[in-house]
Amino acid sequence: MSENLDLDRLIADHSVGVVVCCGSGGVGKTTTAAALGLRAAEAGRRVVVLTIDPARRLAQSLGLVELDNTPRPVAGIDASSGGRLDAMMLDMKRTFDEVVEAHATPEKAAQILANPFYQAVSSSFAGTQEYMAMEKLGQLRAQALREGTWDLIVVDTPPSRSALDFLDAPKRLGSFLDGRFIRLLTAPARAGGRAYLKVFSVGVDLAARTLSKVLGGQMLADVQTFVAALDTMFGGFRERADVTYALLKEPTTAFLVVAAPERDALREATYFIDRLAAESMPLAGLVVNRLARLAAPTLSGPRAGAAAEQLEEAPGAAGLTDALLRLHEDLAVTVSRQHAQVARFAANHPRVPTCMVPASATDIHDLDGLREVGTALGSR
């Protein structure tokens, strides 16, 4: 069996400055990240939680009216140990705008921000959310080192079925910026008007005219203007992406894979764990979330079913009792199946520390609910 994952020990290790919660969608990453951040803050760490979850569940559970691209303090935490908790939700477009404003002259920034192609790319281009999550993580880490604002950043990664989306964002950005398509679009602006016709072959001219037909003349012009305006910033994009990617591989970072206790979710967890190992990224362990539990664990499912049958056959049997026994029988089957799935995973991954978090009886919507999850994550 796998060893137990003690997240209190992880929290107490002040050399750990970044915790990344990853996993497929719908397994409770956001709740796990919020509960871990709250527990760390009440243990004395200065924490900021960055969520990518558009459902805004984190804001509700932390008692905030809303979350945006600026870290906001969370009220109501026990700060007697000297900790603090801030939270924010990634605004993909705003983060992109901030990058442009920080790394371009005011004139060039205004030109980029007003460009129709930029407005489309910054809002919906494939991979932009994942890259901007990396960009924001880099910004928070730099601020933490520069100002001492936080000593722990907890990241709730984008809701995605594949670890590739988050881990590959910097590499895919570099490939995009260095790609033949981008070089082709940049060529006219770099060469200056008609001058590029003297430099590039007739084949390139033909390709440009073909793109103009496909995209439309104005669209192609917008794309070329956008790429030309960003040209001087491309190196900075790649450099920051490389720095953040390197940060994720350092021992000061810890990855938590979050999964539900079901076959498909644990299969996805296996993929995440294998991918992290292939990238030499530090895995802290697996959090198995929402594990079903029995109110009366000593009453087995078969016994509950047998008792329900006896009640059904008895004259004047109590319908509520019968229904409760049947419910217990069904739940016992679920518990047995989930534990079998987790045991199978543990047998196949004996070196992956694992933590079990029981399912909550109600939705997590406040700090007390997060504290209960934090207690399950910790050692007490």
Of 61-75, 138-152, 292-306, 338-352, give the lowest mean pLDDT range: 292-306
Residue whose token pair is 């917008």: 222
Confidence label for 101 from pLDDT (cuts 50, 70 and 90): confident
Instruction: Look over the chain and give the mean of its residue pLDDT values, rounded to a whole number.
Output: 78
pTM for the model stands at 0.81
Question: Is pLDDT of 309 > 60?
Answer: yes
**Residue 4 phi, psi dihedral angles, 5° rounding:** -75, 140
At 253, which amino acid appears?
A: T
Residue whose token pair is 């209960």: 372
The pLDDT value given to residue 255: 95
The pLDDT value given to residue 201: 41
The pLDDT value given to residue 213: 46
129, 54 contact by CB (below 8 A)? no
Q: How far apart are CA 364 and CA 340, in angstroms?
A: 26
Question: What integer is the mean pLDDT of 363-374?
Answer: 88
What is the torsional sign of CA 366, 368, 369, 374? positive
Confidence label for 197 from pLDDT (cuts 50, 70 and 90): very low
Confidence label for 82 from pLDDT (cuts 50, 70 and 90): very high
Q: How far apart are CA 27 and CA 30, in angstroms?
A: 9
21, 285 contact by CB (below 8 A)? no
Q: How far apart are CA 273 and CA 133, in angstroms?
A: 20
Q: What share of the chain is helix, strand, coil (3-state, %, to 5)?
A: 60, 10, 30
Q: How far apart are CA 377 and CA 380, in angstroms?
A: 9
Tokens of 257: 């894979």
CA distances from 313 to 197, 203, 264, 319, 373 (A): 92, 86, 40, 12, 42
The pLDDT value given to residue 42: 97
Q: How far apart are CA 284 and CA 380, in angstroms?
A: 19
The pLDDT value given to residue 333: 78
Question: Is pLDDT of 195 > 50?
Answer: no
Who contacts 169 (Cβ-Cβ below 8 Å, separation ≥6)? 127, 130, 131, 133, 134, 241
The pLDDT value given to residue 325: 67
Who contacts 368 (Cβ-Cβ below 8 Å, separation ≥6)? none
Of 37-46, 58-67, 168-177, give the lowest mean pLDDT range: 168-177
Q: How far apart are CA 82 and CA 84, in angstroms?
A: 7
CA distances from 335 to 3, 79, 290, 359, 363 (A): 21, 37, 11, 11, 20
- Choose the most confident range, by mean pLDDT, from 104-108, 212-216, 222-226: 104-108
**137 or 296, greater pLDDT:** 137
**125 or 342, greater pLDDT:** 342
CA distances from 11 to 165, 226, 315 (A): 27, 44, 58
Residue whose token pair is 């080192």: 145
**102 or 189, greater pLDDT:** 102
52, 21 contact by CB (below 8 A)? no
At 257, which amino acid appears?
A: V
The pLDDT value given to residue 216: 47
The pLDDT value given to residue 221: 65
* Type and span of the H or E element at 57: helix 57-61
The pLDDT value given to residue 132: 80
Q: How far apart are CA 340 and CA 263, in angstroms?
A: 10
Percent of the chain with pLDDT over 70: 66
178, 249 contact by CB (below 8 A)? no
Confidence label for 220 from pLDDT (cuts 50, 70 and 90): low
Specify which residues 122 forms β-bridges with.
Answer: none
258, 27 contact by CB (below 8 A)? yes
Question: Is pLDDT of 187 > 70?
Answer: no
**151 or 100, greater pLDDT:** 151
The pLDDT value given to residue 120: 74
Domains of the chain (ranges plus CATH)? 7-295+338-377 (3.40.50.300), 301-337 (no CATH)
> Mind listing the pLDDT tens digit for each residue in 128-176?
777 788 888 888 999 999 999 999 999 988 766 555 566 776 666 655 5
> Mind listing the pLDDT tens digit for each residue in 243-265?
888 888 999 999 999 999 999 99
Q: How far is CA 23 from the centre of its chain?
A: 8
